[in-house]
Structure 1
Amino acid sequence: MSTQEARRRADRARQVADVLRHQVLAEAFDDGTLPREEQLCGEFGVSRNTVREALSLLVAEGLVERAPRIGTTVVTGKYPHGLHRLMGLAETLREHGDITNEVRAVALTRAPSAVARRLRLESGDQIVYIERVRHLRGLPLSLDLTYLPRDVGEPLLGEDLAGRDIFVMLEEITGQPLGSADISVEAVNADPHTAALLDTTGHAALLMVERLTHLADGRPVDLEWIRFRGDRITMTGQLRRS
């Protein structure tokens, strides 16, 4: 096979893998078994080698597994995390199971200047820092680093940080609802320490979410850096062209 032909097959394999990935995540295969290779060849109009290459991509992602005389079966899906509403993780994923929090650190500390600016504080003001590993159905899902102004963060220290979302407690403490959040999402590799906490491999792909949450009156009260296991979460939302 020429280099050009190999590239064309790789391109087609990626296209097939993208469609199959969507179907796996949407739970389109009722019994958890993908169609046989010959069916996929006919559906996509590609060779068997191309189909096998596409399925190998999904195997490498940990979404499916392959076995002789059994075929290709779904190993695990990903949990959808909606970006269209401002909610805590337990609120977002409650239909998929209970979220529990391993609280690794809680501290009253001085705000780094960059954090102080984001929270509209003076450099050196005290803030509350909370670090948690979040679990869904007992499996580690994310590592959350949270910074809060002292007046809203300190009352949290006596609350159930292991069993409740911080968002809900912030609304109770402040007496007003959360209003909006500035958010960014990027891919990062897991450092060895994070990989150990999330029970994944070193340099595994993580989804890093940076989120600055404001109260309804516009005051920023929660700055977070959240590292999600990329093999257990998918970000979803709906965009409208205005």
Structure 2
Amino acid sequence: MPAEPTPLRTPIRRADRARQVADILRQQIHADAFESSLPTEQELAAEFTVSRNTVRDALALLKDEGLIERAPKIGTHVARRKYDHGLDALLGLKETLRGQGEVHNEVRAAHLVTPPPAVARRLRLEPGQQAVYIERLRYFGDLPLSLDLTYLAPDIGEQVLTRDLETNDVFALIEQISGGPLGSADLALEAITADAHSAATLQLPEGGALLLLERLTKLEDGRPVDLEYIRMRGDRITMRGSLIRPPERTDWRLI
């Protein structure tokens, strides 16, 4: 019979353990597990079976992220929570945050442009054909949350220009104009640092964390109509989704 595998045990550094604790506490903060105050250092040390110094290091990480505030004799309190942005449904920002507060837009540009060739190809435009370009700074209450750069197919985009862009999601306008629902979108999400202009616009420190979402949205018949480059504040947005393992996977069996 084959020998049973020997468990791999390596010493865990305090910094690694602190990061583990911080990851779990961060999720609990986002899930509203703490109404306002976090448990004491002693209680957290007992819960995670770590030293109080490790707990302090974990809380320092969360404090640097702006999630908690700490003060002697007052304790540790939640400073702010991030807003959830789903990845498993095709929704605009206003639809995503419905029920949590009001989204409004500062329209910084809205006009016809000759798009870069890479954009024209993604939107299946003819050489030299114009697109509609819209740039919006999107606020959640008084908080600048995202900077959206949008290219639209001209037949729909020109009608979008005549609508209220300050209070509406572009998705809702496209569906009104096209007379049918949007179908699907291809997206890519990556973390980037804020350049000086983006940082000033979104009221972030230069070099702060941004989430860059590139999304190509199509009508129900598959025609691409909307290509977006969306910079979202990484300190205020959490991307969430539900994933299903595809049924055709067959390589899980060990030999």
TM-score w.r.t. structure 1 length?
Answer: 0.96
* Aligned residue identity for 1:239: L
| SS of alignment partner, residue 94 of structure 1 | coil
1:101 to 105, 110, 124: 105
| SS of alignment partner, residue 213 of structure 1 | strand
1:187 to 175, 178, 191: 191
Which residue of structure 1 aligns with residue 26 of structure 2? 21
| 1:176-210: CA deviation from partner (whole Å, max 9, x where unpaired) | 11000001110000001111110110010100000
Which residue of structure 1 aligns with residue 118 of structure 2? 114
Which residue of structure 1 aligns with residue 50 of structure 2? 46
User: 1:123 deviation in Å?
Assistant: 2.8
User: 1:23 deviation in Å?
Assistant: 0.4
**1:157 maps onto 2:171 in alignment:** no
| SS of alignment partner, residue 96 of structure 1 | coil
**1:85 maps onto 2:74 in alignment:** no
Alignment of 1:44-83 (within 5 A): 44-83=48-87
1:215 to 219, 223, 231: 219
Structure 2: state its 5+ residue gaps: 1-9, 247-255
The answer as to whether partners of 1:111 and 1:123 remain within 8 angstroms in 2 is no
Identity %: 61
Which residue of structure 1 aligns with residue 4 of structure 2? none
Determine the C-alpha separation between the residues in 2 that align with 1:28 and 1:189.
Answer: 30
The answer to which structure has the higher helix fraction is 1
Determine the C-alpha separation between the residues in 2 that align with 1:241 and 1:194.
Answer: 37
Comparing 218-227 with 119-128, greater Cα deviation is found at: 119-128
User: 1:11 deviation in Å?
Assistant: 0.2
| SS of alignment partner, residue 12 of structure 1 | helix
User: 1:124 deviation in Å?
Assistant: 2.2
* Aligned residue identity for 1:146: T
* Aligned residue identity for 1:83: L
Determine the C-alpha separation between the residues in 1 that align with 2:128 and 2:60.
Answer: 52
Cα RMSD (Å): 1.1
- Runs of 4 or more, structure 1, over 3 Å off, are none
TM-score w.r.t. structure 2 length?
Answer: 0.91
Which residue of structure 2 aligns with residue 205 of structure 1? 209
